[in-house]
Amino acid sequence: MTSTALSAPSRSLLRYLSRGVNSLKHRHEAGVTHFVRSYYESGKPATGCQAESARTIDLRSDTVTKPGPLMRRAMSEAEVGDDVFGEDPTVNELQQHAAKLFGMESALFCPTGTMSNLIAVMVHCRERGDEMIVGDLSHLHIYEQGGSAQLAGVHSTTVTNLPNGTFDLDQLESKIRHGYPDPHYPRSRLVCVENTHNIQGGRVLPLAFLKELRTLADRYGLMVHMDGARVMNAAASLGVPPADILQYCDTVSVCLSKGLGAPVGTMLGGPEDFVKRAVRARKALGGGMRQAGILAAAGKLALSDMVGRLQDDHRNARSFAQALLQCDPPIYQVDLAAVETNILRFRVSAEGVSPAELCARAAVVSEGEEQALGQGVQVLMFPHVGGSVRAVWHLGISEEDTRLAALKMQFVAQQLARERARAH
């Protein structure tokens, strides 16, 4: 039986791929959009079984998580007040808990990580002509719409991110500029790091690097902000409390709505005076929420009950990576040493197969798949920078899901091999 019906995540993936997937260092060949659209809409890949009955394994991002029953109950029963007045008890409890967990004086509940990072930049760089130094592959530099320049009037200069997410400290030192007495230059105020590093595949910044960075920053009077959207993953990987990582930073932004499973929210931590200024910046950006305890209740559960399960995501990501290396024919390229947390980047070496095409094939049910695998499986992933594919594990992906996803990738490898054999 043939069907071209797609799940909502699959349709979302189609829209994403059809936009061309144009990001830094990522330029797909002409015709990808046409291929992806025709592959989804022609009906060809859906033969064999109904797409609606397929098992969908969504590895696009750990942002797709949904709150479970306990979290929903906590949200429904949350005691609330007006947080702009500082009167929401649940928000206040969350902020106190986060500050203690991070080893910092204070913390602020913000709607999003993008806003939280922008607030940090605004508070650290208070004068026009101030400058921050960021990695050239950092989320803050690439994926946050240049908000530091657009909204905060802060200039950015970049250092080259290394494969492990760090950067060369000598290069960093060469970028530090002080505006006085020479009026030509901006004033360096802030260094931003990202941990774990998204584009580099969830890499964990070594503590030794952070310690050296702190020493250098202190020498020049610079502040250090960590985009720690997934710093809890970093802590789980290193086997240390998050405060052991954050002792080398002045401020941090920690996302609650990725692997920790909350629907909304990011915590911005730092000194008490910093957070007081951050409250003003949050209000100016429209982030002052009222009865926000409904959301904060989910955040409390995320930081208390969900941290311990992050190792499951790391284990499943590594298991999938190992399975890719065992596929026959061996068309997947994986650096196992770089699989440190819940993000996996891999490449496909099959002739003429782009990351976009591989993702399209993985996301649909093909003829003969149900017979080969026992059921239809749709694996949702994204083409990524540098000609790679990105897959991300989260609380919605079980060990069994991981096993089925690996079987699907084996099926795709064999499907490509059969097509190549027929072509020759």
- Residue 3 forms part of a structural domain: no
pLDDT at 35: 35
- Domain boundary among the residues 260, 291, 322 is at 291
Q: Are 259 and 119 members of one domain?
A: yes
**Global pTM?**
0.88
- For residue 146, the domain's CATH number is 3.40.640.10
In a domain, 89, yes or no: yes
- Distances in Å between the Cα of 119 and the Cα atoms of 99, 227, 309, 374 are 17, 12, 30, 50
Same domain, 257 and 121: yes
Residues 314 and 287 in one domain: no
378 in a structural domain? yes
Q: How far apart are the C-alpha atoms of 307 and 295, rounded to whole Å?
A: 18
Question: In this structure, what token pair is assigned to residue 176?
Answer: 């530090």
**177 burial type by CB count under 10 A (0-12 exposed, 13-18 middle, 19+ buried):** middle
Domain containing 15 — which CATH number?
Answer: 3.90.1150.10
- From 237, 265, 291, the end of a domain falls on 291
Average pLDDT (169-184) is: 86
Tell me, what's the pLDDT at 49? 42
Contact between 344 and 203 (Cβ < 8 Å): no
Paired tokens of 141: 């530099």
pLDDT digit string, tens, across residues 355-403: 999 999 999 999 999 999 999 999 999 999 989 999 999 999 999 999 9
Claim to verify: residue 176 and residue 37 sit in the same structural domain: no
Cis peptide before 181 (omega within 30 of 0): yes
Report the pLDDT value the prediction gives residue 366, as an integer from 0 to 100.
92
56-60, 88-92, 366-370: segment of lowest average pLDDT: 366-370
Confidence class for position 258, pLDDT limits 50, 70, 90: very high
In a domain, 300, yes or no: no
Looking at the domain assignment, is residue 70 inside a domain?
A: no
* Whether residue 145 is found in the same domain as residue 243: yes
Tokens for 416?
């490509």
Residue 304 counted as domain residue = no
CB 151 within 8 A of CB 115: no
Q: Which residues contact 388 (CB under 8 A, 6 or more apart)?
A: 345, 346, 347, 355
Share of the chain above pLDDT 70, in %: 87
- Residue ending a domain, choose from 265, 291, 317: 291
Q: Tally the domains of the chain.
A: 2
- 56 and 88 part of one domain: no
- pLDDT value for 9: 52
Contact 260, 67 (CB under 8 A): no
pLDDT band at 40 (very low <50, low <70, confident <90, very high): very low
* HSE toward the beta carbon, residue 119, CA cutoff 13 A: 33
pLDDT for 53: 78
Residues 338 and 273 in one domain: no
Q: How far apart are the first and last CA of the chain?
A: 29
- Tell me the pLDDT of the chain averaged across its residues: 89
Q: State the pLDDT at residue 420.
A: 84
pLDDT reported for residue 423: 77
By the 8 A CB rule, do 340 and 317 touch? no
Asked if residue 297 belongs to a domain, the reply is no
Q: What is the mean pLDDT of residues 261-285?
A: 98
Q: Is there a single domain that holds both residue 314 and residue 226?
A: no
Q: What pLDDT shows up at residue 183?
A: 82
Task: Locate the DSSP E strands across 49-204.
Answer: 55-58, 106-110, 130-135, 155-159, 187-194
CA distances from 41 to 5, 127, 150, 156 (A): 9, 53, 39, 43
Based on the fold, state whether residues 149 and 186 are members of the same structural domain. yes
Between strands 106-110 and 130-135, the pairing is unpaired
Is 374 within a domain? yes
**Whether residues 163 and 287 fall in one domain:** yes
- In this structure, the answer to whether residues 28 and 98 fall within a common structural domain is no
Range of the domain at 24: 8-60+309-423
Residues 322 and 277 in one domain: no
Q: Are strands 382-384 and 187-194 parallel, antiparallel or unpaired?
A: unpaired
